[in-house]
């Protein structure tokens, strides 16, 4: 048995078109958002620099709906022993918050924590001798804290 399609009245078709034109679909967020998010949360210095540049121009990325909020190093010092870890903590927060919002956090957590450690080690690379050793030890402690205690 063949079904017969009934024509939609003109006013119903116009109303539906108006609703569809006004509605903002989930696809309003650029389709490459997961790729951009991944690019900005890798362990490399280039990834960190790309994130920092975007953070400096957040308005240019507003269509992506990224969460740029941060509490920096939460309850840990942002400059332990004078080592400036604040921005590494900000990028780590960015990674956690945005991967959670995208439903990608469990698969990305270890990479985000490793990127955090890489950022901290880059801070430490500016020191030498015992000061470098102290920075590296502090970076390792911060990394272990987020690796073990970071909420998944």
Catalytic positions, written as ranges: 92
- Give the largest Cα separation in the chain, rounded: 86
- The string of DSSP letters for 14-42 reads HHHHHHHHH---GGGS-TTHHHHHHHTTS
Q: Give the closest residue to 141 by CA, choosing from 151, 129, 133.
A: 133
Q: How far apart are CA 94 and CA 92, in angstroms?
A: 5
Tokens matching residue 128: 């030498």
Q: How far apart are CA 44 and CA 129, in angstroms?
A: 24
**128, 75 Cβ separation under 8 angstroms:** no
């Amino acid at each position: 048995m063949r079904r017969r399609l009934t024509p939609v009245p003109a006013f119903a078709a116009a109303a539906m078109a108006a609703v569809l034109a006004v509605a903002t679909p989930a696809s309003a967020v650029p389709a490459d958002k997961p790729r951009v998010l991944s690019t900005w949360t890798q362990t490399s210095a280039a990834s960190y620099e790309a994130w920092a540049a975007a953070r400096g121009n957040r308005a240019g990325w507003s269509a992506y709906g990224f969460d740029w909020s941060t509490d920096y190093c939460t309850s840990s010092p942002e400059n332990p022993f004078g080592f400036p870890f604040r921005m590494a903590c900000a990028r780590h927060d960015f990674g956690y918050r945005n991967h959670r919002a995208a439903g990608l956090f469990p698969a990305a957590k270890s990479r985000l924590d490793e990127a955090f450690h890489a950022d901290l080690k880059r801070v430490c690379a500016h020191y030498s001798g015992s000061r470098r050793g102290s920075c590296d030890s502090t970076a390792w402690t911060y990394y272990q804290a987020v690796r073990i205690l970071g909420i998944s």
